[in-house]
Structure 1
Amino acid sequence: MNSKTKLLTFVTVILAVSSLTVSTVVAKAKLTNQSKLFINGIGTVQVGMTVPQAAKAAGTKLVGDAPNNNCYYVKPQNQPKNLSFMVTKGRISRVDVRQNNQITTLKGAKIGDTEAQIKSLYPGQIKVTPHKYVQNGHYLTFIPKDRGDRNYRLVFETDGKLVTEFRAGKLPEVEYVEGCS
């Protein structure tokens, strides 16, 4: 092969690999059931984003309640199911996970875990309080030690034994037991 052919072949290979890499990065940016919930977001969606920013980060349209200045919810149009975002003052303030045992926290906590499992995943950082509506149920609230995260929480709701739903977000919204009600 002459040098022009080698160069053309090299450039073609580089472009093909770059194209695959970009496609992989874009695919990873989409919100899925494998996205991890952390104290200030899920996957690439972070608390503090506007709904359009969150939709772009999620790689999907967010649909739901009519926007208002106080509080409303949006959710991914398709997947993942049973995941919603609370919006206050025009920005994502918390993420709620219900009836979806595929989504986990960064440490692996999920719906169906026992209270003991949650406490063992977050030793010394779980505050237990009685559930407002579920007899014998609890709120297991993860309180971060890092000063930069002090305004965020993970809240696991239980029936007294197992996690039934969980959420993450900023104070005070993450502690609203009735959501936007």
Structure 2
Amino acid sequence: MNSKTRFLTFVTVMLTVSSVTVSTVIAKAKLTNQSKLFINGIGAVQVGMTVSQAAKAAGIKLVGDSPNNNCYYVMPQNEPKNLSFMVTGGRISRVDVRQNNQITTLKGAKIGDTEAQIKSLYPGQIQVTPHKYVQNGHYLTFIPKDRADRNYRVVFETDGKLVTEFRAGKLPEIEYVEGCS
């Protein structure tokens, strides 16, 4: 094999590896039940993105309420189920997880966990307040220590024992108990 042929073979291999790497990265970015919720987003979707940016980052179609008002919700057309995004001012402001015990936070918190488990995952960073509608229920609010995250929270709603749903996002939207209502 002469040097020109070796070079062309090398370039072909590198282009193939590059396209496989890009495809793999794109495939991994798709929003699924294995995507992790973090203080300001889930998977590749971050608070502050427009709906079209979020759909592109998630690799899925987002559908939902009419964007005629300042606050509405969109959700994945298919999977993951029971996941929604609050949109305010035309941008994602919060992520809500309901009736989906597959999606977890970065630390592994999920629906069905006990209040004690949540407190142990986030020692010294959980503020407990009474639930507005569930007798004996609580809001367990994760308050970040990092100054860069001071405007974000994760809120776990409980029935007094177990997490029934949770959400992550920015202030003040993260504290809206009734969502956009």
- The 5 Å alignment of 1:43-62 reads 43-62=43-62
- Partner of 1:139, secondary structure, is strand
Give the aligned partner of residue 2 of structure 1. 2
- Partner of 1:34, secondary structure, is coil
- Partner of 2:145, secondary structure, is coil
Kept in 2: contact 1:141–1:153 (CA 8 A): yes
Give the aligned partner of residue 128 of structure 2. 128
Q: Report the Cα distance in structure 2 between the residues aligned to 1:148 and 1:58, rounded to whole angstroms.
A: 24
Taking structure 1 as the reference length, the TM-score comes to 0.97
Q: 1:69 Cα shift?
A: 3.1
Q: 1:68 Cα shift?
A: 2.4
- Partner of 2:49, secondary structure, is coil
Structure 1 stretches lacking a partner, 5+ long: none
Q: Report the Cα distance in structure 2 between the residues aligned to 1:54 and 1:45, rounded to whole angstroms.
A: 5
Deviations 1:58-77 (A, max 9, x none): 11111000002321000011
Q: Report the Cα distance in structure 1 between the residues aligned to 2:55 and 2:6, rounded to whole angstroms.
A: 43
Q: Report the Cα distance in structure 2 between the residues aligned to 1:171 and 1:4, rounded to whole angstroms.
A: 60
Q: Report the Cα distance in structure 2 between the residues aligned to 1:135 and 1:22, rounded to whole angstroms.
A: 50
Q: 1:52 Cα shift?
A: 0.9
Q: 1:41 Cα shift?
A: 0.6
Deviations 1:14-34 (A, max 9, x none): 111111101011111111111
Give the aligned partner of residue 137 of structure 2. 137
Taking structure 2 as the reference length, the TM-score comes to 0.97
Q: 1:134 Cα shift?
A: 1.1
Q: Report the Cα distance in structure 1 between the residues aligned to 2:178 and 2:140, rounded to whole angstroms.
A: 16
The aligned length equals 181
Name the % identity.
Answer: 91
Q: Report the Cα distance in structure 2 between the residues aligned to 1:93 and 1:118, rounded to whole angstroms.
A: 23
Q: 1:8 Cα shift?
A: 2.0
Structure 2 stretches lacking a partner, 5+ long: none
Q: Report the Cα distance in structure 2 between the residues aligned to 1:50 and 1:90, rounded to whole angstroms.
A: 6
CA RMSD of aligned residues (A): 0.9
- Partner of 1:15, secondary structure, is helix
- Partner of 1:155, secondary structure, is strand
- Partner of 1:132, secondary structure, is coil
Q: 1:148 Cα shift?
A: 1.3
Q: 1:9 Cα shift?
A: 1.7
Deviations 1:59-105 (A, max 9, x none): 11110000023210000111111100001111111000011111111
- Partner of 1:32, secondary structure, is coil
Deviations 1:138-169 (A, max 9, x none): 10000111111111100000111111100000
Q: Report the Cα distance in structure 2 between the residues aligned to 1:115 and 1:125, rounded to whole angstroms.
A: 13
Kept in 2: contact 1:69–1:90 (CA 8 A): no
